[in-house]
Amino acid sequence: MDKNYYEILEIDRNASPEIIDKAYKTLAKKYHPDLQDEAHKKESEEKFKIINEAYQVLSNPEQKALYDQNLVDSNISQDQYEEMYRQNQILKDQLNNLQQQRK
C-alpha cells in the first residue's frame, strides 16, 4: 500500500467523520485546480485527484473499514522487521564471503 489516505488528508487515523470532512474541504479548496495559477495547475490537479480518492474511501464507512484492515495487514511488527533485518545481514555476509573466495 503506497498511499496513506490519512497522511494525504493530514488527519489522525481515529479522526471523526466531521474531521475527515473538514480536512477534505480545506485541502480541496487549497489545491483546487481552478484556484491555481497556470504554473501550478497541473501539479494541483494531481494533488486534487489524490485528495478526492482519499476522501472517497475515508468518508464511506464500509470502504474505510476495509482500508483500515488492509493498512493493519500491510504493517509488520517490530519483531518481524528485526528478523527480516537479521536474515538480510546473514545473506549479505554470505554474499561477501563468496565474493572474497572468488578473488
Beta strands of the chain (E only): which ranges? Answer: none
Total H helices, total E strands in the chain: 5, 0
State pLDDT tens for residues 37-77.
Answer: 888 889 999 999 999 999 999 999 999 999 988 887 776 66
What structural domains and CATH numbers belong to the chain?
5-76 (1.10.287.110)
For residues 22 and 59, give the distance between their C-alpha atoms in angstroms, rounded to a whole number.
Answer: 11
**What pTM did the predictor assign?**
0.68
